[in-house]
Chain A
Amino acid sequence: MKIHQVSLFAENKPGHIAAPIRLLEKEGIDIRALYLADTEQYGIVRMIVSDWQKAARILETHGFVVKVTEVLAVEVIDHPGGLADVLGALDQIGINIEYMYAFPDAREGKAILIFRFADPDVAIARLQTAGVNLLTSDELLKDQ
């Protein structure tokens, strides 16, 4: 159920995000989702990629500071209220979200939510009990 997310540190300057992305593309790594969390000075690039181990290795070899974290992916119907339903379920089971981001699924009419929880194992157990559909890594990447 856990998805490996690759994060890297980037200064908030022109070209500083393009360089690592180009590097991954050159090595044939698909970037399924990319989310930038930024401050005025620097940012964190978070990515879901087709081969996280290879991506982390390539980036580290090129001197980037990389962190791999486990996140969870939830698929929702892309219609008004779809997101609210999932967040409502999270509220009910009482676990805090460290951060989240969303992107439209390649499959029509669906959207994918990525969640980072302090303890992903607890989150998995409670979400499954609450009937929330978690995607496996294979399901998330299968359209590639």
Chain B
Amino acid sequence: MNAIMETAASDCHPASVPDYTPLPELRELQLKRLQAVVTLAWKQVKLFRSRMDERGLTPEDIRSLEDIARLPFTQKSDLRDTYPFGLFASPMKDVVRLHASSGTTGKPIVVAYTQKDVDVWTSVLVRCFAGCGLHRGDIMQIAYGYGLFTGGLGAHYGAEGLGATVVPTSGGHADRQIMLMRDFGVTAMCCTPTYFLHLIDRAAELGVDLKELPLRAGVFGAEPWSESMRKHIENMSSIEAFDIYGLSEIIGPGVGCECRRHQGLHIFEDHFYPEIVDPETGAPLPDGAEGELVLTTLSKQAMPMIRYRTRDITTILRGQCECGRTLRRIDRIGRRSDDMLIIRGVNVFPSQVESALLQIEGTLPHYQILLTRLQGLDQMEVQVEVTPQMFNDKIGALQELHHKLQGALDRVLGIRVRVALVEANSIERSEGKAKRVIDRRTS
């Protein structure tokens, strides 16, 4: 029944109609837009022009979608090297908005939007939220940071575009977030998954039962999160949790999002063309193969991105989703090509640490991985913040917890790590995003 209802594109939000574009029509639209954006970048962006010249390419060489593989990649370093405006393809008078990354490593990354870009951004977010089953009448609390970070304003415009009532709380002030969630009867929450975990814990401390609230959906993104984390969130708060994907370089949140099937994230590929490539060689990989996601903005005016290397590792899923959308889906992103840690020769992903922690307590405490080197040997310490649920006034109970955590981490990672129980709120938070790894190894 659900499938039939959902496939009826006419039933959905008007903005969602493109989600159901018949494939031949979609591919034709993509090719037309690809040719236009390549032409725009070729004419306006010096760096892109010179890279095309090196390959002896002009926009006329793009005759099919497969020809995209002939185009040069764009990397994050290109944005840094051309800071601040070097990759703009529109004059500043047409740019209505600038966003920037927090710039924790050197110069920030600047991204630009024309009015048309902002409108496209809003439209894809409306399609995200509509796909999550949200609509006019929903009360959406946006707890992504507002400001230079794309999360807050992006989600805000999308929620307004949907026709929902927006509560723009931005990040931080957990007690106030919970109070407003309860007092306003908020039905959907947008924030990072780790921030929502924090709200779950804090609500329990304040005696607020999230399950009793009208809250029914959460749209979580801006960092990778696991399937076990989803289960935990859904169990603790009785909501349906959706994974949303995006990155500032491409547009911000809203590049892709789960539908209610939760079988991968639909990429709004009429605007963002996805490819999977071998992270080492850059060679294109077929749908179904795991590799690095590469995205091309098909309609962006202010700052087109041609074959942008996201560093996110995923798979383009084969076959069409049961929801009826023709948009291809990517698998949930569990890791990035650059977040892999090599510790004493063993590959370790922070997501593995997360799943080990979840095994023990059924709650995901705040944690951080600290890497050091002692006499030439890598040392890994996992610092785990003690939550009220974990704390016990008996030292034996804490030691038992400590041993259990140690055992789970050793089993999952296959290497010996040191576990440290640390005080609540002692691990630094930044912009609601968790900084998971501190690497103090010097080679």
Contact = CB atoms under 8 A, between A and B. Distances in A.
B198 to A, nearest CB: 12
Interface string A29-62: 0000000011101101010000000000000100
A81 interface: no
B63 to A, nearest CB: 61
B393 A44 contact: yes
Contacts of B386: 9, 42, 65
Interface in A1-17: 5, 7, 9-11, 16
Contact of A60 (B205, B392, B421, B422): B205
A11 B391 CA distance: 13
Contacts of B423: 9-11, 16, 64-65
Contacts of B421: 9, 11, 41-42
A22 interface: no
Given A9-B386, A65-B386, A65-B387, A98 B425 contact: no
Contacts of A64: 423-424
B424 A7 contact: no
Nearest to B385: A65
B205 A44 contact: no
B426 interface: yes
The size bracket of the interface on B is: 10 to 19
Contacts of B393: 5, 7, 44, 46, 67, 69, 116
Nearest to B419: A41
B55 interface: no
Interface stretch (B155-163, B314-322, B394-402): B394-402
B420 interface: yes
A102 B165 CA distance: 59
Interface string A103-120: 000000000000010000
B391 A65 contact: yes
Contacts of A44: 393-395, 398
**Interface majority SS (helix, strand, loop, mixed), chain A:** strand
A89 to B, nearest CB: 23
Contact of B425 (A11, A16, A63, A116): A63
A66 B393 CA distance: 9
Contacts of A69: 393
Interface string B382-416: 00001110111111001100000000000000000
Contacts of B420: 41
A63 B391 CA distance: 13
Contacts of B425: 63
Contacts of A38: 395
Interface residues of A, number: 23
A64 B423 CA distance: 7
Nearest to A61: B175
Given A60-B205, A63-B424, A65-B423, A9 B394 contact: no
Nearest to B391: A65
A77 to B, nearest CB: 28
Nearest to A7: B393
A92 B390 CA distance: 34
A11 B398 contact: no
A5 B398 CA distance: 18
A42 B426 CA distance: 13
Contacts of B392: 67
A9 B391 contact: yes
A66 B392 CA distance: 9
Determine which residue in A5, A16, A65, A69 has the highest number of CB atoms from chain B within 10 A of its CB, and name it: A65
A58 to B, nearest CB: 14
A98 B397 CA distance: 11
Contacts of B387: 65
A106 B107 CA distance: 63
A98 B390 CA distance: 18
Contacts of B424: 9, 63-65
A9 B401 CA distance: 14
Contacts of A99: 394-395
A24 B399 CA distance: 27
Contacts of A39: 395, 398-399
Given A11-B422, A42-B421, A37 B391 contact: no
The 7 closest A-B pairs by CB, nearest first: A7-B393, A63-B425, A37-B395, A65-B391, A65-B424, A9-B386, A69-B393
Given A9-B391, A39-B399, 13 more contacts: A5-B393, A9-B421, A16-B423, A37-B395, A38-B395, A41-B421, A42-B386, A42-B421, A65-B424, A67-B392, A69-B393, A98-B394, A116-B393
Interface of A: 5, 7, 9-11, 16, 37-39, 41-42, 44, 46, 60, 63-67, 69, 98-99, 116
